[in-house]
Structures are given as C-alpha cells and as structure tokens.
Structure 1
Amino acid sequence: MTDFSMLDLAPTLLSALERTGKTEPTPIQARAIPPLLEGRDLMGLAQTGTGKTLAFGLPILHRLQGQGKPAPKSARALILAPTRELVQQIAASLTELAQGLPTSIVTVVGGASINRQTDRLVRGCDVLVATPGRLIDLLERKAVSLGQVQMLVLDEADQMLDLGFIHALRQIARHLPKQRQTMLFSATMPKDMSEIADTYLDRPVRVQVSPPGKTADKIAQAVHYVAQGDKAALLQEYLAKHPGELALVFGRTKHGSEKLSRLLDKWGFSVGAIHGNKSQGQRERTLAAFRAGETEVLVATDVAARGLDIPQVMHVYNFDLPNVPENYVHRIGRTARAGREGRAVAFCAPAEMADLRAIEKLTKQPIEVIGGEPWPERMAEEARTKARAATGQGRGGRPQGQKPKQGGGAKGKPDAAKAPGEAAKPARPRKPRPHPALAEAMAEERGQKPRRFRKKPVRRGGE
C-alpha cells in the first residue's frame, strides 16, 4: 500500500494529510488502519517514531465525523498515555489533522490546573487525551464520565506498566462501557501485558512491524568508557565540538539531571531540564525553547524518552545508562527522525557494565567503542556492589541491615498474653499503603512530591 487514498479514509482527512505533506503511510499505518476502520480491536507492536499516532488517530477522526455535539462531561474517544509530553504530542498531531473540522480535542495531565481542565470538560469533547493519574482525579470529582466512550487507545502500554500504572488502568476500566473498540500500542511485550490485553481487548488483530529492541538504521551508536566522576567534563568536551546543534542528554534521576543542567549552565551552555519535579508549565516552556533552538542542550530523565518528536535533535548522550535496556532504544530514538541522521553516545562507568551488556543483548549488536577501555569484570562488580550499598539496597531488595519482620501481632510484635477467659480486643484496621513504586509514579504524574514512608524512631533506654 503506497498511498493514503487506498485506505478508504474520509476525503477531509485525505485533504488534511496532503496539506501536512503526508502522502505515504508507514508500515504500522498501512497494516493497522484497515482493520481499525472495520471496527476490530487491535494490538500493535512497533517502536516509537514509526507513526503509531496516525495509525490510531486517523481511524478515530474518520469515525467521529458527522456525529454532532458530544454530551456534557463526556468523551467519545479516550487516549491514555504515560507521560505529559506524549499526551501533548498526540494532541498536537490530531489537532493538525482536525483543522477545519468540528472535532474537539481536550488534554488532561498532572502538574496543570485541574479546575481549568474541569471547565474544559463541562461541554464534553470528541477526543480526550489523558494521563492515568489525572484522569482518575477527574473521575473521582465526577468531572468526566466515560460511559459514552466508543474508542479507547492505550499508547506506550509497556511504559505505563513500567511506571506502575496497572492499578490505575484497572480502576479506569470499571468506568468504560463493554461495547467499545480498543487499540493497544506498545514497543515491547512484557509479561504483564497479557493481563492488560485480556482486560481491554476482544479478539484483537495483532500487528507487528519491527522486532522489539531494533534501533533506527540512521543512528550512529558509540560508547565511551569513563569513570562516573569524569562524565560531566567528558560531556562538556562533546558538546563543545558541536556548537549550534541540538543535543539531548539523559540522566537516571531527577536530582542528578537538575544538578547536571545547572553545571552546564554555569559552564556557559544554553541548557534546559525536564523531569518529574518540574511543573507542567515549566516543562512546556522548556520544550518550546528547545524546539525553537533557543536552548541547545536539554537534560532529561526518561519522561522524554518517548513522545518527544523534534527532528532537529542531532545528538543523544546517555550520561547515565538506563537500568531497563528497552529505554535505551527509546532514548536514542529521539534522534535520526524524519529521515535525518543522528548520533548517540553512551557514557559507561564501571557500575554500568551489566547495563551495557543488557543493551547489546537486546539490540543484538555490539556498540562501537570510541573512548576508554572496557572495565575489568572484578572492578565492575565491586563498583556495582558499592552503588547498591549507596542506595541502601541489598541483593534481596531490602535496605541493608534491615531484618524481616517476625510473626505475631500488629507491627511485628509478639501477641501479648491474655488472662483466661479475657476476650481479645479486635484489631484496629489499618489503611493499606500503596506500593512505593506506584505511589511515586502517581505523585510524579500529578506533579506532586511522592510521600515517603518512614519507620518511627525507636526509643532506647536512657535516651
């Protein structure tokens, strides 16, 4: 299939595609759009940057034409995405195609005013693009109803699992009608994906256009072995060699990314940073400056690994290697977009040797070494052990030195002896705490600081 006109789309959409310069469908679009136009459920497996947004966006806009105004506080199509950046990217793509049509598109994300979002939903909308956490907030306020949703999209479903949103997805599913069309798109197929597929999809068509872990052919990949403490100076050297070219730098943590961006700013680079501690307004302004070329260096966590479509990005630097190898593929996919070429350089410290090997195993290709020498196995293991100790994590997943709780009564204490015939007092019900990973992911998506659960200090005799 070599032309969008062969896909039986509405003439208005064909005109919009021609106006935006899109004439030939990508493989995922050519294979996904026909069954979606027939009303089938679909599971699409494709890497980021392959055109998934139009693969589900065009069938949605095609079906919505001629339906009239939506009911108050309702949505006809719901698109769920894991990050604010991806939500904004999807909405921008659909808005461009829907220009001149009566189709209303509303976005709701954390970090922005929930009252303004509530006001926009009063009249209802045709397409609602949302992050799971903020959508649950609006459902709890009864600001939106999902009872009239005809089409549901789960985009980047594997990342939603990584961020701990599976419980949120279960909660959202209870508000959706059973009679609907569902589209699930993912770059990988983790084990938990089968649970989502069983919950949301009905006899889906499966479409896969590229094997998981495949990187773009036009990305020149390289690795530079460097001690952790020398990474910032090395990054300065690389950035200085390419003035005027946009560079995206990935860190592993919010604190580390913010610290690095401030250091680069001190060294005279025009730099911005986006991560979970930034408000939605800050993130949008930073991305706008980077897209316009006003900022040449963007330091980010994995919130920018997907959904960031800026063709001018020439360089991606993995300042910290990701501990999830699939994220490496998504990170470097931010360059070499729209037919251009790009370069990705990974900085590998001794503690990251295992992460590098996992990446090469996933991509099934060795990464070219352009600096330093591979760290010896013994040094790498010692560095990894020290890194685990610094974060307080032992091999069993518990903080080192913490013993498992003993059996017995509440808070791990042994049951107190009771007098004969004395009735036991009913235990006071305790409010269940959310899993720490889910709590942190939900708080970050809402633009809040995650709550930290700490044990009460133990008072010792004589103190």
Structure 2
Amino acid sequence: MPARTGGRTPQKKQKGPAEPKSLKRKREEEDMQKLQVAVDQFDPKAADTTKFSTLPLSQPTASGLSASHFETLTEVQAQAIPIALKDRDILCAAKTGSGKTLAFLVPVLEKLYRSRITEYDGLSALILAPTRELAVQIFETLRKIGRYHHFSAGLVIGGKNLQDESERLGRMNILVATPGRMLQHLDQTCGLDVNNLLMLVLDEADRIMDMGFQQAVDALVEHLPKTRNTMLFSATQTKKVSDLARLSLREPEYIAIHEAASAATPTTLQQHYIVTPLPEKMSTLYGFIKTNLKSKIVVFLSSGKQVRFAYESLRHLQPGISLLHLYSRQKQVARMEITRRFTAAKYACLFATDIVARGVDFPAVDWVVQMDCPEDVDTYIHRVGRTARYNRAGKAVLFLDPSEEPGMIKRLEHRKVPINKVNVRERKKQDTQQAIQNMVFKQSDLKFLAQKAFIAYTRSIHLQKDKEIFDLKKLDLDAYAASLGLPGAPQIKFQKGDDIKKLKNAPRAAILSDSDSEFDADKKKRKVRTKIDKMFERTNQDVLTDHYAKMIGEGGNADGVDEDEEDDFLAVKRVIQADDLDGEGNATSAPPGAKVIHGLGGDEPFIVDSHRREKMLKSKKQMLKFKGRGERIIFDDEGVAHHPYQIKGEDDFKKEGDAQAQRQKFVEDEATRVKEADISDKQFAKERRREKKEKRKAREAMENDAAVGDMPRLAAPDDGEDPLAFLASLPTGGEKSESEVKESDEPPKKKAKKWFQDESDDETKKAKGKKSKTKVIEVTEQPDTLEDYEALAAGLLED
C-alpha cells in the first residue's frame, strides 16, 4: 500500500524575526545552482569517492545517509552513483551483496530533488523488482535514506487491495513495484499519470528481462515516455542488444565491477558440494541441520510443494532449531511475517524457493544449502549470494546426485566459481526414512504432501533444458519415493504412456526374472510385509486404499505382482485342452512357462505368456478381437448354407455373354422389377385407404345407432290405420290406461322387514305417524267479533 517516506525532523523554533519568504526562496535557488555546478564539475577519477560526504549530494540525502549509518561507499556505489548523477543510463553488473540498492536509490533522490519535484507533479521515478520480498526491502531502504525529503513514495505489490492502492497512486512521486502489479495499475487506474517520469530502475534486471516477465515488461514500457533515464542492476547482467532496445537505453554506461575478478562469487564465501544420491538427500539434510544448530541456514528447493513437505516432515522430527518456510503461494501477510521473523532470528532454518534467491538481504546468514541442483550457474550465484554479504564470511553447500555431478561442476568451473568436494562423515549421518514412513502412515495429509512433492520434483527435472545435467532416467525414483515415505512411486502424466507400454510388452517370465535378479541380494527382506503393506491390504479400511491400488497397479503388492497368480489364473472360466499340453500344462510351440488355451474361437490357440494376456481372458471386448469377425450366411430353400453375396468367377462370367449386354439386360430386368413393385405398392396403398374408409364409416354408424337408441320411439300401426286416429287414441297426461287402473286398485305391497327390524319398531313408527298428523280447523264464516278471534286462537293453541 502506498505510504509516505516522511519529512524533515521537527526543529525547535528559534526566537527572533522570521525570515522573509523571498529571501528563503532566493537562498534555496542559490543552493540548487551550487549543487548543480558541483555535480557538473565532479570528476570521479580525480576525486575521492570512498566516503558519501565527498559526493555532491543534497543536504536531505546526506542527512538521511548519515542517520542510517551509511558512510563508506562500496566499489559498485563509487562507480555507479557519480555516473548516474550526470543523468547517464547505466547497465551495472556486480557481485551479490555489493550494495547495488544504494547505488540506484541515491541517484533517484538526487534527480527528483534537483528537478524540484513535488507531490503535485505525479510519478517521477519507478523502481521494478522481480519479487515482493525484494520490493519490500528496497522500499524500507528508501524510507531510511529519504526521511528528510518531502517526496511521497509507495509500495505496489500483489496480495493487497487494488482499490486502496489506486486511490493513492496519483499523489506518489516514487513507486517501488513488481512488474505484474504495476502493469495492472497502468491498465486500470485512471488517475495514474506517467508522462512526467524521469527515471526507470530495474533491479535484478536479468530476471525481469527473461521469459517470466518479458510480456509484462514490454507492455509496461509502452506506457512510459521515451525521454527518461534508465538504470539496470544485477549480479549477472545481460548485454543483448534486443533487451537494451526494448528499454530504450541511450548509450548506456556499462559497469562491470567484478568482470576481471578471479571468481564470480565473493572471496569470503566458502563453497562446497556433496555427492549424495537422491533418495538420501532428506537424511543428509537432517544430519546437516542437527550438526549446525547454532547457525542461520537458508535451504533452497526447486518447488513450493517440496518446501512444504520438507518443512512439515522435519518439523515433526524436531531437529532442535526454529524452522520456517517461504514460497510464492503463501498469503502476502504470511510472507512478510516469515521474512521478518527470519531476519530478526539469531538461529533459524528457512526452507524457500527461488523467490528469495535474488536481492533479498537476510542479515548474518551462515549457511546456504541447495538441496536441489539449480537450473543454471546464474541461479547458483544468486542463491549463494544470500550469505557472505558486504565482505562478511559465509558458507554454501550444494547437494548433487551422482548423475548431476559431472555436468554441473564443469559449468561452475567455466564461470569461475571455486567449489570443493566434501564427504559426509558416517557418524553424522542420520537415516530419516523409517521415521518419515511412520509419519506418512499415520497422517494422510502428510502423505498427500509427499505425493505432490514427488510429482513436482520429477516434473521440474523433466522440464529442464540442460539434459546433460538433468536426466530423469538416471534417477532412482522408486527409492526417492520410499525416502518420502510413499509405498510406491506415483504415476506421472508425462511418463504414464511409457510405463504402460513397457508393462504390456514385457512378458510375465521376464518381469519375474528381472525382479528376482534385481533384488537377489536382499530377497528375504523384500518378501517381508511392512505396516504399510498390511494396511493397504485391508481394502475396506479407508478412502486411501483405492488410490494406493491405482498407484501401484492391480497387483497385490508394491511390485505390481500378484502373490497368488496361479489361483487367479485357475479362477478364469476357460477350458484348457489337456491333449495339446505336456504334463506341466505347457505346449511345445509356446514359450517356456506359457499356457495354451484352445477352443476360444480364434484361428490359433490362445497363449498366456504375460500378465497382459492373462487379463485379456477376463475382457469380453479383447476376446472378441481375438476371435476375429464372423461371416454372415443364409440358407436357401434346400437348407444349404452359403454367403448372401457370391462373386462369380471370371470364366463363368464370360460364358454368359458380353459384359455390356449383361449390363443392359440387368438394367432392363431391374427396371421391370421396379415397375411391378411400383404397381403392387400402389395397389397395396389403395387397399389400405379403402380399409381405413370402411372402418371410419362403420365407426360413425355405430355412434349414430347408440345416440338414437337412447331416445323413446313410437311404433306405427301395421294394419294401415290412420296415423291421426292412432295419435288421438293415445292416452293424455291426465288419463290412465287400463293396466294402470288395475294396478292402482291393488293395495300396495308391504315392504319386507329387514333382519334387524321387529314389530315394536312398526308400532313406534305408527304412533309417531299419528302424532305427526296436522290438526285441521274448519272456519265456516269470517271472524267478525273479538269472541270469534279468541275461539279461533284457542283452537290453534290446542294439541
């Protein structure tokens, strides 16, 4: 997040009349002119450049250097600062720990001071660093030596809130940033103006200009103005014309401090290498840490997953020293906290990737251990540069596999890197394989980290360009997996095809013979089942068993070989013809130890001479391929089988006549057959339409009959009687027919009693019926007097 560097220290107010502003401005103008004259007249060859006090620097810069206890110039500072003060572009290469940070920070402050930059002038200086840790270190140094300037400075790195940074960037004069984050602000922050940029600085320029940042740097430079000063600093500098043209350098001054030196590394650095096989590197590292508990150690590994596993596994072993780990996937807050803790620690061991290999200054580092071989000599130089800084003593040790030793040592000698071979004392070695296996067995998360570390390391070796040093085929990957506590080497995607092809093509007998010859010296030990083998035999134990089975193959042990292969083979439901086999079940034409199976449908008997051929018996798809394609046959009227399409011989074809005549006859016959078929098809279609029509009519007739049958019908007389007379004779609504009259004369039939009714129920109903009858009061005359109405009311009130 952007932050202000600070201002001048507050001074006590002196009594007396205040100085007029005009006189103050005049004095400042005179001081600025004197400073510019001193810079123009300064000759670094003739003048004494051993002290900062002898340089033509402004008063705020000189005070900041003095307050930060910087008094004596290093060699790179003595050559770079005077040239940079004269506004020249610089291309500087110097050893690690030689003081390159001050060599470009002092010119940046002086350039902005002499240009009279204020916080309202926008961005004037941009400093790029490849890693966040290095950018934070540069920013902290800038705050120390620039404490008396009025410039505002900001730190722009990933892992922080982009919006908070955007709100403050418009007021910043100096920015220390990583390339990716700075490009993001140039593309998205609308208030950021870089048209007034005066200086561009690239620290660790060779790293920034390589393929990792090439696109970001190219896009970033397009936003910057061409008229600016550019300075490039690194321990291993590039001179490629294409890189210089991309950055628009104008006749840069090349400064090579240690180009003529006898060694590319500091003379106070003691460098050693140990030849240790890859499976023994963890044990060697643990023994080394236990021997140097009163030291500050940085251990470099090639990937973040290896860093995590090494840290977690050794942390459980408790070597007796504080352990820390640092890699790029960590949160920014955690990275800064770990960097602070290791910087402040007196004795500690830091496991890290190459994110701290360049420029980061950890004070008082005693040992730099490179557990994995660096990709090139430049990476080696930057790694060992974390110790022996500023003419202090330091030690470095490199672990090399026997296959890596010849190529790497030859390249180090070619670059003038003095390194000596040392041997590990036998009494100092401590085998950690058994302890790590027990931890991996108990903790599934540690097992997961071990698998990821194995895959990350093998991929890094596979992707290396220098195959003279990095050859994956020369490494014992099975033993390396065992050293990480794994029961077997996980399958790797870029090797999976080769492994499967090798297993398929290898016969069963050859696999057994190779394994027996390879482990003949330790055959008894190989057959002993470990705790891990016993655990993974319990297939219903947990979710890891399926993963383990897929990882080592379908066999029952880590070698991929079934211990009970004979039983598995006999369980296959196939018939073996005993007549074609000898007493042991082998055929004379088959390889030794192979099985021959007849009657499976193929042209030849099926020979089982490998595990792959044995598995084919259980695959329906594979057995169909073995049997081959079947032939289609048809039977004629006489029951004779033949192919549906038979091709005549050439002689029989010529006997039937000329080919053209046969063709013409065939065309005519086919045309006649098509016409006949067309007529029959039309007739069939016509019949179908007729049948559909008849069915539709029948269905409609049935529907009409059903509708009419529901209505009452009048039967007309058959003797020719007049219809009107017949209608007149019909009974009307108020009359009854004779049959109805007879039926009415008969009393209604008594309803039969139910099984639950008796006579008492009938009497009860009759009594209720009598009571429920309504009483009728007859009134002969209209009531006239009061007495008449009382009599009528009394009658109504009675029962």
TMscore range, shorter length: 0.7 to 0.9
Give the structure 2 partner of residue 254 of structure 1.
304
The 3 A distance-change label for structure 1 pair 232 and 176 is same
In 1, the alpha carbon distance for the partners of 2:162 and 2:205 equals 24
Q: Is the 8 A contact 1:271 1:295 kept in 2?
A: no
Q: Structure 1 runs of 4+ off > 6 angstroms?
A: 388-394
SS where residue 92 of structure 2 aligns?
strand
Give the structure 1 partner of residue 24 of structure 2.
none
1:214 to 264, 273, 280: 264
Measured after TM superposition, the shift of residue 188 of structure 1 is: 2.2
1:370 to 419, 423, 426: 423
1:346 to 390, 398, 403: 398
Give the structure 2 partner of residue 303 of structure 1.
355
Q: Write out per-residue CA displacement over residues 168-209 of structure 1, whole angstroms, 9 at most, x where no aligned residue.
A: 111111111111111111322446x42221222011111110
Measured after TM superposition, the shift of residue 337 of structure 1 is: 2.0
Higher strand share: 1
Q: Say whether residues 1:111 and 2:166 are aligned partners.
A: no
CA-atom RMSD in angstroms: 2.7
Give the structure 1 partner of residue 315 of structure 2.
265
2:76 to 28, 33, 37: 28
In 1, the alpha carbon distance for the partners of 2:313 and 2:300 equals 15
In 2, the alpha carbon distance for the partners of 1:194 and 1:49 equals 27
Give the structure 2 partner of residue 2 of structure 1.
50
In 2, the alpha carbon distance for the partners of 1:382 and 1:160 equals 25
Measured after TM superposition, the shift of residue 119 of structure 1 is: 2.8
Q: Is the 8 A contact 1:311 1:338 kept in 2?
A: no
Q: Is the 8 A contact 2:209 2:243 kept in 1?
A: no
In 1, the alpha carbon distance for the partners of 2:220 and 2:186 equals 9
Q: Is the 8 A contact 2:368 2:387 kept in 1?
A: yes
Counterparts of residues 17-416 of structure 1 (less than 5 Å): 17-65=65-113, 67-71=116-120, 74-122=122-170, 124-143=171-190, 144-190=192-238, 193-200=240-247, 201-211=249-259, 214-268=264-318, 269-293=321-345, 296-353=348-405, 354-371=407-424, 384-386=472-474
Q: Which has the larger Rg?
A: 2
Q: Is the 8 A contact 1:310 1:337 kept in 2?
A: no
Greater CA drift, 226-235 or 363-372: 363-372
Alignment coverage as a number of residue pairs = 389
The 3 A distance-change label for structure 1 pair 387 and 261 is same
Measured after TM superposition, the shift of residue 232 of structure 1 is: 1.4
Amino acid at match of 2:386: R
In 2, the alpha carbon distance for the partners of 1:381 and 1:218 equals 28
Q: Write out per-residue CA displacement over residues 49-92 of structure 1, whole angstroms, 9 at most, x where no aligned residue.
A: 111111111011112227353348x4110011111111111111
Q: Is the 8 A contact 2:408 2:469 kept in 1?
A: no
The 3 A distance-change label for structure 1 pair 384 and 58 is same
Q: Write out per-residue CA displacement over residues 230-270 of structure 1, whole angstroms, 9 at most, x where no aligned residue.
A: 11111111111222321100001111111111122112242
In 2, the alpha carbon distance for the partners of 1:316 and 1:26 equals 24
Q: Is the 8 A contact 2:373 2:399 kept in 1?
A: yes
Measured after TM superposition, the shift of residue 400 of structure 1 is: 7.8
In 2, the alpha carbon distance for the partners of 1:278 and 1:320 equals 21
Give the structure 1 partner of residue 463 of structure 2.
none
In 1, the alpha carbon distance for the partners of 2:135 and 2:252 equals 24
In 2, the alpha carbon distance for the partners of 1:199 and 1:255 equals 35
Amino acid at match of 2:368: V
Q: Write out per-residue CA displacement over residues 329-384 of structure 1, whole angstroms, 9 at most, x where no aligned residue.
A: 11111112233211111111134322343233223434232339xxxxxxx98954
SS where residue 372 of structure 2 aligns?
coil
In 2, the alpha carbon distance for the partners of 1:17 and 1:335 equals 24
In 1, the alpha carbon distance for the partners of 2:253 and 2:53 equals 22
SS where residue 209 of structure 2 aligns?
helix
In 1, the alpha carbon distance for the partners of 2:205 and 2:226 equals 20
TM-score, normalised by the number of residues in structure 1: 0.78
Higher helix share: 2
Amino acid at match of 2:473: T
Amino acid at match of 2:413: E
The 3 A distance-change label for structure 1 pair 204 and 367 is same
In 2, the alpha carbon distance for the partners of 1:112 and 1:71 equals 25
Q: Write out per-residue CA displacement over residues 148-175 of structure 1, whole angstroms, 9 at most, x where no aligned residue.
A: 2111111111111345211211111111
Give the structure 1 partner of residue 483 of structure 2.
none
Instruction: Say which structure, 1 or 2, has more relative contact order (CA 8 Å, 6+ apart).
Output: 1
The 3 A distance-change label for structure 1 pair 261 and 163 is farther
Amino acid at match of 2:372: D
Show structure 1 runs of 5+ residues with no match: 373-379, 402-461
Greater CA drift, 3-12 or 221-230: 3-12
Q: Is the 8 A contact 1:33 1:56 kept in 2?
A: yes
